[in-house]
Amino acid sequence: MLRVPDKRLALQAYEQILELILTGKLQPGELVNERRLAEILALSRTPVRDALLMLEGEGLLLRQGSRGLQIRQVRIEDYMDALQIRLMLEPAAARIAAGKVAGERLSQLTGQLQSILAEGDGKRADRAVVREVDEALHGTIADAVGNPQLSSIIRTLRRQTLMFDLRSMPERLGDTCREHMAILAAIGAGDGETAAAAMASHLGRVRDSIIQRLTRT
């Protein structure tokens, strides 16, 4: 019973540190200073330490012996490997999730995507809002499968790819919103095959855009 508040604080610290990583305030290769982080987050070192262990377990932090933990430098090869696994898992998750997500939730997510598009095809939208909606959409689909282990794996893979996404391809925001709405529409209609195809198409276009950008002369 006494550990519940500590667990809650650890999750709070986890989300805040993850935000610092994803927004670039903690740079790849930077060593993590536990005491400094505790001061920044206005938390004790215990929940911060627990949060850092969680992030290490997800592969976003690397242990450098006596030097402590370091923000992982995500290489393009790591990104592509993670995206390939997502292409195997997430279309299957979308197929299973079809017809299993509450209509209210689908309407909420669709409305948020439409709002982003209204901000000038997504190009002027707040990146934090875009990421929040993206996380909510993929997380909702993963959770609807009813397999906590699968959901955890998908979320971990997404965080690894998000570290690259946030620094690249802002021009894809509009297309991403429309692709997401197509996925939600298929899930709402209970059409598993169309949902799976829409998810595979979305992730495939993300992959192709990355390759195109890297090979651009």
170 & 200 share domain: yes
59 & 88 share domain: no
Q: Are 29 and 73 in contact (CB under 8 A)?
A: yes
88 & 173 share domain: yes
- The DSSP element (H or E) to which 103 belongs, if any, is helix 103-118
* Total residues belonging to the chain: 217
Residue-level pLDDT at 124: 57
131 & 150 share domain: yes
Residue-level pLDDT at 173: 82
In the numeric block, the tokens 């898992």 are attached to 89
Give the least confident one: 61-75, 135-149, 156-170.
156-170
Residue-level pLDDT at 179: 96
- Nearest alpha carbon to residue 109 among 91, 135, 87: 135
In the numeric block, the tokens 């959770």 are attached to 143
Among 54, 71, 88, the domain boundary falls at: 71
The burial class, CB within 10 Å (0-12 / 13-18 / 19+), for 36 is: exposed
9: containing domain: 3-71
d(CA 207, CA 33): 34
107 & 28 share domain: no
- The DSSP element (H or E) to which 70 belongs, if any, is strand 69-71
CATH of the domain at 81: 1.20.120.530
Residue 122 has pLDDT above 50, yes or no: no
Q: Which residues pair with 31 in a beta bridge?
A: 70
In the numeric block, the tokens 């200073």 are attached to 33
141 & 80 share domain: yes
CATH of the domain at 51: 1.10.10.10
97 & 186 share domain: yes
Q: What's the pLDDT tens digit per position in 182-212?
A: 999 999 999 999 999 999 999 999 888 888 7
Alpha carbon separation from 206 to 70, 169, 188, 217 (Å, rounded) = 28, 9, 23, 19
48 & 93 share domain: no
Residue 128 has pLDDT above 70, yes or no: no
- Name the domain count of the chain: 2
117 & 171 share domain: yes
178 & 196 share domain: yes
Among 56, 71, 86, the domain boundary falls at: 71
55 & 119 share domain: no
- The DSSP element (H or E) to which 134 belongs, if any, is helix 127-144
Query: Which whole number is the average pLDDT over 8-29?
Result: 84
Residue 2 has pLDDT above 80, yes or no: no
Q: Say how many C-beta atoms besides its own lie within 10 A of residue 86's C-beta.
A: 23
104 & 162 share domain: yes
Among 71, 87, 116, the domain boundary falls at: 71
Residue 166 has pLDDT above 50, yes or no: no
- State residue 113 phi and psi, 5-degree precision: -65, -40
